[in-house]
Amino acid sequence: MRARSTWQRFSLGTKEAIETALYTSGMPEETLALYSRWWQLETYLRSLIYVELRSVHGVDWTNHIGQGATTRREKDESRSYMATADWEDPLSYLDVGKLFPLLEANWDLVGPSLMDKVTLLARTPELLAIRHRLGHLRRPHRDDLGRLEQTLRDLEKGAFTAYASYNRELRAPNQLNDPVVAAWVREEHSTAKRLLLHAERQYNVAFQLSYTVRPFASAPEEHAPISGSRGLLWKATFHLRGQEVQPSSLWRENYLDGNVRQLLVHMLLDPGTVSFTFPAVDDADRVADAIGEAFDAVLLNVRPRRGATERELSESRMRSIHLDPRIQRDSGWSIVDDTTVPISIFGA
């Protein structure tokens, strides 16, 4: 049976709103296309600076994005009845006019995942002009879409680098003198002793600890610890072996209320695994505890996988869009690796 188009998946209310805006309110169709492309650009830039700042500053990362974003978020608390999934993301409150200076100030971190610095900085005024037209409901220039799509094409290589490195897993030597390795590879953590074999035997869930290296960083030298290293991320992966977890249920699990939510970079989901990434620069004992808390949460939420129709899968993806942005499913951060070539990240 032929897969439904994106338009067919939209709710009736969404379709009516778009059609009304296009045909009775005078909104140019190019504006829809332009907004969609801008969404791709800005969300990539925000997610990139988030990952890199987390990998360098750990739990203190919000101290490096400026006070304005935090202040806006605090003001939004008075309207909690209108809260969206992005409410807990301070970067979503950062004005776009401050986003590009933030990228420039952290170019040593983000540069490998962007494009030529001189070119991007020269293009920034044009990009911001397009953004302001969208924000103030001005009709687009006929070349705006082309300019934006060219920028996305220029970012393809960098975006692939950012995503593929995030999923390029390295294994730490068993005898490495590192607290997290001791806890979860040599099984010295109390939760590791309690759950590793139990999970295999009773739940058919296998655990794997790995680490990844951000493009601006270098892998640790032989015998050097991973914990405490800037630009490195721990990745705790649970192989579900024909089972599944529901993202929303797992995210609400009380076990995640301890160290996990404070230290977590992303919770990554695909049909066969769920993974949690943590900055190696954060306190190693807290990271080890967070892995144990995540382990308990996964086992409490794992269930036999049932067959799903194409429509159910589509609706599940649409629901995932409304979850906390740290939950990554069907995104570059969760699916792109060195083997997913050829690929166009932005399709521009």
d(CA 12, CA 27): 19
d(CA 119, CA 100): 13
DSSP 58-102: GGGGGGGS-HHHHHHHHHHGGGGGG--GGGG-GGGGS-HHHHHHH
Question: Given this model, what pLDDT does residue 318 score?
Answer: 52
Number of separate domains in the chain: 2
Count CA atoms within 13 Å of residue 104 on its CB side. Answer: 13
Q: Is the pLDDT of residue 312 over 60?
A: no
* Same domain? 39 vs 115: yes
Asked whether residue 337 is assigned to any structural domain, the reply reads no
Tens of pLDDT along 162-187? 999 999 999 999 999 999 999 999 99
Which domain covers residue 158, as residue numbers? Answer: 6-166
Asked whether residue 52 is assigned to any structural domain, the reply reads yes
pTM of this prediction?
A: 0.92
DSSP-derived letter for residue 26 is -
Instruction: Give the number of other Cβ atoms within 10 Å of residue 18's Cβ.
Output: 15
Domain boundary among 122, 139, 166: 166
* Same domain? 118 vs 260: no
Domain boundary among 166, 201, 229: 166
* Same domain? 183 vs 292: yes
Q: What pairing do the DSSP bridges indicate for beta strands 266-270 and 206-213?
A: unpaired
Query: Residue 310: which pLDDT band, with cuts at 50, 70 and 90?
Result: low
Looking at per-residue pLDDT, the higher value among 256 and 77 belongs to 256
Tens of pLDDT along 183-227? 999 999 999 999 999 999 999 999 999 999 999 999 999 999 999
